[in-house]
Amino acid sequence: MSSNIRVTPHPSFDVLAATTAARLITRLLDVQSERGEATVVLTGGSVGIATLAAVAASPARLAVDWGKVNFWFGDDRFVETGSPDRNLRQASEALLDHIPVDPARVHAMAASDTAADVDEAAALYVAELAAAAAAEWENDDASPAQAPAVPRFDVLLLGLGPDAHIASLFPEMAGIRTKGTPAVGVRNSPKPPPERVSLTLEAINSAQEIWIVAAGADKAAAVGLGLAGASEVQVPASGARGVNKTLWLLDEAAAAKVPGALMRREP
């Protein structure tokens, strides 16, 4: 197992969400003190959204310069902009509408009323990622021609499906096999709704830190498989590896099948 993987259980869903929120606020503050701005990739799902709500409820949120935080999405559902199924809408209701974000720094994936199909939506996100990456490289006095496909992701949040899917990359489907592009259109998703846009594993793994957040007994098998070094095509979560750190932030139920040797119980 790579040394950069750390598994931390939490006593309950609520403690997991609150602790992940505190970690996120602290990480954003640390990055902003080093670089002036910070970038987080948000996820849909119960824990991902509960974490954002916990950030909104935390007095510590007031210490973050939210106007200098770049928000991207690991995936979104390809439904109408106003649909309650949209991760953007859920993230906005949980957090983004309650903090002073710079709208130009909130990078939403296209919806079914703003793109013709999931392929166009993915292509639009690929272009937006490339433009942000080129701008970062120009700022770093490097040639934009050599810019990577995606900007720097300081923290990338991932929920976990019971089938070990991450973002909208599902076992054995085209998305998890896709290489050479940072975003992909998804059809026939086993998790409704059927059409989505997702970052690819390559884009996910470009992140400095990946935080996989999962709660509930129905995720225990996926966590165990994800940590057991299974093939990423069969177990997408097993392919998630941050450049510097990969955290598995779990409640006790989701951690039930984690080998004791891997567990890091924080004091």
Ligand X SMILES: O=C(O)[C@H](O)[C@@H](O)[C@H](O)[C@H](O)COP(=O)(O)O
Summarize as ranges the residues that interact with ligand X (CB under 6 A): 43-48, 75, 77, 87, 159-161, 165-167, 191
CB of 48 to ligand X, least distance (A): 5
Cα separation of the two ends of the chain: 23
Q: Which is nearer to ligand X, 191 or 257 (CB)?
A: 191
CB of 20 to ligand X, least distance (A): 12
CB of 254 to ligand X, least distance (A): 10
The residue with its CB nearest to ligand X is 159
Q: Which residues contact 148 (CB under 8 A, 6 or more apart)?
A: 133, 137, 206
Q: Which is nearer to ligand X, 64 or 160 (CB)?
A: 160
How many Cα atoms within 13 Å fall on the side-chain side of residue 182? 25
Q: Which is nearer to ligand X, 5 or 166 (CB)?
A: 166
CB of 71 to ligand X, least distance (A): 14
Q: Which is nearer to ligand X, 136 or 251 (CB)?
A: 251
- Token pair 């954002």 in the structure block, residue: 52
How is residue 96 written in tokens? 């983004």
Q: Which is nearer to ligand X, 134 or 224 (CB)?
A: 224
CB of 100 to ligand X, least distance (A): 25
| Omega within 30 of 0 (cis) for the link into 193 | yes
Give, in order, the Cα–Cα distances in Å from 8 to each of 24, 159, 198, 226. Answer: 15, 15, 26, 14
CB of 49 to ligand X, least distance (A): 8
Nearest to 40 by CA among 244, 226, 211: 211
Nearest to 202 by CA among 246, 150, 157, 164: 150
How is residue 73 written in tokens? 């999405």
Nearest to 135 by CA among 104, 109, 165: 104
Inter-residue contact 113 to 68 (CB < 8 Å): no
Q: Which is nearer to ligand X, 76 or 128 (CB)?
A: 76
Give, in order, the Cα–Cα distances in Å from 176 to each of 166, 168, 170, 180, 208. Answer: 9, 9, 6, 12, 20
CB of 117 to ligand X, least distance (A): 18
Q: Which is nearer to ligand X, 131 or 230 (CB)?
A: 230
**What does the angle CA 183 – CA 184 – CA 189 come to, to the nearest 5 degrees?**
135
CB of 146 to ligand X, least distance (A): 31
Q: Which is nearer to ligand X, 136 or 195 (CB)?
A: 195
